[in-house]
Amino acid sequence: MTALRQAQGPESTPTGKVWLVGAGPGDAGLLTIKGLRALEAADVIVADRLGARAVLDGLAADGVELRAEVVDVGKLPGHHAVPQDAINALLVQLAHDGRTVVRLKGGDPYVFGRGGEELHACQEAGVAVEVVPGITSAISVPAIAGIPLTHRGVATAFTVATAHDQIESLGGGRDHTVVLLMGIGTLANSAITLARGARGADCPVAVVEDGYGPRQRVTVGTLATIAHQAAERGIRSPAVVVVGDVVRLSPYAPVEFATLDLSQYDPLAAPERSRRA
């Protein structure tokens, strides 16, 4: 052992690895097998608040014992306890210390998760890094409300955006589903903006709160009504907003919404709708 150390030289330092793992929407059963294997091998888990902590709690409840130290860098809406630059530096430092690090991120690292920034920081520092995709809440949370983002004869495409983006530039009609993440604080403005386009004020909308969590709840309305409903029901983050005719397919939709004859329905031939809220 002494000879090996001498051969390496006094400047030799251990090198660890960073895994960017998508935790999914918060259900431990939706964590990928590769993600679980990374967690089991980790020395340190740097965890998000949403999704990630729920998965760790779920694994513990299922009897899965992880040996890793857990570092919480969770962010609250409007309050980032640990800035992104500090998270990047932490990942690099832990890897340079020879640790195997899992950066456990809610949903998928590359869907509004800043995973690309963390990957770049590790690569710039010469740290080995690998990405393990996760199931994004943009798809999985609507699914638990019975809403497919595409459906033959109803919707042929979907767009995922945050409510902080320039959503007035989102084109398409009700056959082009819009999924808004982090959108509760600006829900009223988003609804007004989308209603001005081809979707119209009576376009169906669903808000799915706390998907896979203890507060899971679905609210269905229209672009004209959803902001009032959200205020009346006290809707809170985290929540996913779905806009488009696919909302009509949800079992949570009111009876008057369930009017699609899927054998005949053609969104391109649908009657002209109101263009403004």
Q: Given the residues 27, 48, 108, 245, select the one marked as catalytic.
A: 48
Residues 6 or more apart whose CB falls under 8 angstroms from that of 143 comprise: none
pLDDT at 109 over 60: yes
Q: What is the pLDDT of residues 133-170, one digit of tens each?
A: 999 999 999 999 999 999 999 999 999 999 777 788 88
Distance CA 113, CA 146 (A): 25
Give pLDDT, residue 271: 43
Residue among 123, 154, 177 nearest 115 (CA): 123
Give pLDDT, residue 49: 83
Let me know if 182 is a catalytic residue.
Answer: yes
Give pLDDT, residue 8: 40
Asked if the 138-269 domain carries CATH number 3.30.950.10, the reply is: yes
pTM: 0.85
Q: Given the residues 27, 105, 175, 182, select the one marked as catalytic.
A: 182
Give pLDDT, residue 258: 72
Averaged pLDDT score across all residues of the chain: 88
CB count in 10 Å sphere of residue 248: 22
Residue among 194, 210, 150, 146 nearest 175 (CA): 150
* Chosen CATH of 15-135 out of 3.40.1010.10, 1.10.287.40, 3.40.50.720, 3.40.50.970: 3.40.1010.10
pLDDT at 7 over 50: no
Give pLDDT, residue 265: 54
The confidence band for 260, taking pLDDT boundaries of 50, 70 and 90, is low
Let me know if 17 is a catalytic residue.
Answer: no
Interval 215-237 mean pLDDT: 97
Residues 6 or more apart whose CB falls under 8 angstroms from that of 146 comprise: 249, 250, 251, 252
The number of angstroms, rounded, from the C-alpha of 21 to the middle of its chain's C-alpha atoms is: 13
Is residue 147 a contact partner of residue 250, using CB atoms and an 8 Å limit? yes
95: three-class secondary structure by DSSP = helix
The confidence band for 6, taking pLDDT boundaries of 50, 70 and 90, is very low
Q: Where are the domains of the chain?
A: 15-135, 138-269
Give pLDDT, residue 261: 58
Give pLDDT, residue 9: 41
Q: Given the residues 72, 75, 97, 165, select the one marked as catalytic.
A: 75
Fill in the amino acid letter for 17: K
Interval 208-218 mean pLDDT: 95
